[in-house]
Amino acid sequence: MMKMRTVEITVGALMIAGILSLLMLALQVSGLSNFFREEPGYKVKAEFSNIGSLKVRAKVSIGGVVVGRVTEIGLESDTFNAVVWMAIDPKRVNNLPIDTHASILTAGLLGDNYISLTPGFSETQFLKEGDIIPLGSTDSAVILEQLISKFLAGQASTNNKSDQPGGEHP
Amino acid sequence: MITMKRLQLLGRTGFSFMGDVGRATIILYHSLIGKPDWVNGFTRLVQQIYFVGVLSFVIIALSALFIGMVLGLQGYTILNKFGAEHALGQLIALSLVRELGPVVGALLFAGRAGSALTAEIGLMKTTEQLSSMEMMGVDPLRRIIAPRFWAGQISMPVLALIFNCVAILGGYMVGVEWLGVDNGAFWANMQSAVDFHADVVNGIIKSVVFGTVITWIAVFQGIDCQPTAEGIGRSTTKTVVYASLAVLGLDFFLTAVMFGDT
């Protein structure tokens, strides 16, 4: 028979492993809370009229290279615009011009939304902690349903126009 | 005549099955109901958790690692065809937390711990240790069955949780570190898809049910076995077969109740 001390120690270790697993499942896998992790980098805010299905922790990229993450998504209370906070890694890029353009794109046909930054032309002023990319220099997400309905509406109106000359159906 | 004989056989099987269920319930009742002996009971419980849980840890963790890696690899090849490999985290986590973790964990547990329990108790019965305990005025049900039952019931959920975590890490290793799925997308998709209450807690409930059923079958088969070498072997086989079937069958019903309406 094994020493009781060893038995108790291993059982205690098993219990701790179980509790740690539960914690990992709760925090890391089901995302019960995200406040332990702070994304590195300086925070920049961008306003969009529609963010589609952009999620927290989505990529922020410049020309396809990941430079940061989305940290927070909210709603501007007076203008009802979507506000996206992103953390940009200063080790990757530290001199983004102030007139940088942000657009929400989709990776592939079924893919996730991500933010693509297109650097502007200012050579003296750079984006820093807390700066805002205004609505004017952002592109919203393209929603497939809206595209389709626009296309169908266009079809219908052209049909109507062509119908109008002889459109007297009893 | 042949039909009548068949019918009679079916009836006899039914009777013996109901008798088994009845005896199993009575044994469980007698071993669990009564005044608990906190001091000695706890020591015995810890010892049994060691035998049932800690010794099953290695096989559970190793199989979990490989299952997670295979899930990552297979999921990646299929999702890659649709350009949707960022959904890999979601695929791995949901299938593990809901189904594979509790079920595969329980099957391994039945093979590793359930068979050992049956063989141990069966040998105690064959060598008349149980009868001598009774002669000395010690209740073998309270002394032998109860700590093993509780140990199985405590160990199974803990092992299933460890299984989930190790397997998700295995999938992470293959998917992110090896095949190059984006790290943030992997975890973000997983977190948005997995709900703590609906998925993780229901998985834990499943594993508690499986732990109960497996240890119940194991201790009953042990105490009900024929006191011969052959009888021990037969009971051990029965434990693994019945426990595995019970786990898979119950899993269907639990899944239907928990996730059927979504």
Q: Are B143 and B247 in contact (CB under 8 A)?
A: no
Mutate to test the interface with A, among B48, B49, B109 (most CBs of A within 10 A): B49
B189 touches A: beta carbon within 8 Å: yes
The tens digit of pLDDT for each residue in A116-136 reads 988 888 888 888 888 888 888
Does B40 score more than 50 pLDDT? yes
The tens digit of pLDDT for each residue in B157-196 reads 999 999 999 999 999 999 999 998 888 888 888 887 888 8
The tens digit of pLDDT for each residue in A6-37 reads 888 888 899 999 999 988 888 887 776 554 55
SS (H, E, C) chain B: CHHHHHHHHHHHHHHHHHHHHHHHHHHHHHHHCCCCCHHHHHHHHHHHHHHHCHHHHHHHHHHHHHHHHHHHHHHHHHHHHCCCHHHHHHHHHHHHHHHHHHHHHHHHHHHHHHHHHHHHHHHHHHCCHHHHHHHCCCCHHHHHHHHHHHHHHHHHHHHHHHHHHHHHHHHHHHHHHHCCCCHHHHHHHHHHHCCHHHHHHHHHHHHHHHHHHHHHHHHHHHHCCCCCHHHHHHHHHHHHHHHHHHHHHHHHHHHHHHHCCC
Q: Which range, of A74-78, B201-205, B234-238, averages the lowest pLDDT?
A: A74-78
Chain B partners within 8 Å of A15 (Cβ): 158
A24 touches B: beta carbon within 8 Å: yes
Are A32 and B57 within 8 A, CB to CB?
Answer: no
Does A165 score more than 70 pLDDT? no
Are B50 and A10 within 8 A, CB to CB?
Answer: yes
A8 touches B: beta carbon within 8 Å: yes
Could you tell me the residue ranges of all domains in chain A? Answer: 1-36, 42-143
Decide which of B204 and A29 is more confident: B204
Give how far A53 is from chain B: nearest CA, Å.
11
B196 touches A: beta carbon within 8 Å: yes
